Amino acid sequence: MFDSLDDQMKKDLDKQTTTKQRVMLWVAVAAASVLVFGGLYLGVRLIG
């Protein structure tokens, strides 16, 4: 009768974004993560 909140969120997400947009978002998140953690790693290596 009623959709769960999770089901409703999935339907809403499908209406708002395309698959290409979601993939590009995850690629951007992965790239930002690599830059942040890579910078922290190099910073620690340079200190020690």
pLDDT tens-digit readout, 3-29: 788 888 888 877 787 889 989 999 999
Answer for the pair 25, 33: CB distance below 8 angstroms, yes or no. Answer: no
Q: What is the pLDDT of residue 48?
A: 80
Q: Domain coordinates of the chain in residue numbers?
A: 19-48
Closest CA to 17 of 7, 9, 6: 9
CA distance 3 to 9: 10
Q: What is the pLDDT of residue 44?
A: 96
Across 17-46, average pLDDT: 95
pTM recorded for the entire structure: 0.63
